[in-house]
Amino acid sequence: MVLKNIKPIALVILCISAYCSVLKAQVEYKTKNYTHELAPLKVSVSFLNMEDILTPITAGILVEGQLKDKLFYNVQIRKGYLRNFNIQAKDLLTTKNENKGTVFEADIDFPFSDITKSGKVKVITSTTFDGTYLGEKYFKANAEIRSYWALSGGVTNYSRPKYLKSDDSEYFGSVVQASTDTESKFIPFNIVTSGLYAGIVHRKIRKAIVTTNGTSYRRFYSKKFFAQFLVGSTSVKDFVYNDQTYKIANAKQVPFGYRLGWQWDNMGVVTGFEFGKLPGVTYETNVEKDELSKIFINNPFLNYARFTFHFNVFNADKNYHMKGR
C-alpha cells in the first residue's frame, strides 16, 4: 500500500522537475560583466536616517566611488531635523541649546584581496499587480561576482544631544537648582566627538547587462560588511540659562569604541545598518531608565544603533558604463 502511494508522488515530482528544466532551458541570454567598471564619483541623498538608536532623525548626502580600480572612498554628511522624541519639549528647562545632531565621516578602503568568481544575478523581466499581490517574472543568469577584502581607515566628527536632570547638583551646582522650579526638568547640552577609525571591509559586487529576447537588463547589487575600531576625543559644551553659562562637570571620557555594520546597494537604493559603541562621555543621573536606556545608554559595550537610507541621484553604478549598451 505504501509503495502504491509513493509511486504517484514520485511521478509528479519527476514531471515538475522535467517541466522546470524545460523552462530553464528555454531562457537564452548573454551576460556582459562590468564589476571593475565602477563610478569614480556617485552621489546619493537621504531624508530619513535614524541615528543613535531611534533618534534624532537626520537628512544628508553620501558621496562614494572607485579610483583606478584599486581604491574606494566614502564620505557621509548628515544633519538632524527632528529633535529627540523620547523627551517632550515641555519637559526641558530650556530649548536654547538643544542639538538635533550632525554626522561627518570620510574613509578609504585599500583592497588587499580582490578576486572574481562565478555566481548568479536575478533578472526581473516583468512585474504584475492584481490589486492585492505583487508578482514578478524573473530568471537567474550566470554573472561575475567581484569580492574584495580591504583595510579601511577614516576620520569622523559628530555631535549628539544629551540630557541631564536639573536637580543633578554634582554636574551643575546649586545655582542651577535655585534657578529652576521645584519640578525637575531636563537640561539639554551638546557633546562633540572627533576621532579616527580603522578596520576591515568585505564587499561583494555584481554589475552586469543581461540580454534576452532582444531586451537588455542592467543589474547592479553590492553588499558590504565592515568591522572597525574607533578612537576619539569628546568635548562637552556649556549650556546657557537665564543669561548665565554653566559647565557640565564630572563627565568621564570614553575614548575607545567599535562598530559592526552592513551596507546594501540594490540598483541605487543604498541601505545601511550598524551598531556598536561610539567614543564619548559617561555620567550617572537619576533619569528614569526605560527599556531602550537599559539596552543602550547603560550598556558598557553597546550605546548606539544606526539605520540609513540613501537614493542615488548622480552617476549611479546601475547606469555608469552600462547606459545605452
What are the angstrom distances between the C-alpha of 196 and each of 64, 75, 228? 19, 14, 10
Is residue 122 over pLDDT 70? Answer: yes
Read off the pTM. 0.81
Who has greater pLDDT, 64 or 172? 64
| Close Cβ partners of 84 (under 8 Å, ≥ 6 residues apart) | 55, 56, 98, 161, 163
Residue 191's closest CA among 99, 274, 256?
99
286: left (phi over 0), alpha (psi -120 to 50) or beta: alpha
Q: pLDDT tens across 186-228, in order?
A: 777 888 999 999 999 999 999 999 999 889 999 999 999 999 9
Pull the grid cell for residue 160: 549628539
pLDDT at 24 (0 to 100): 44
Q: pLDDT tens across 155-179, in order?
A: 999 988 877 776 665 565 544 554 5
3-state secondary structure of 80: strand
State how far Cα 269 lies from the chain centre: 12
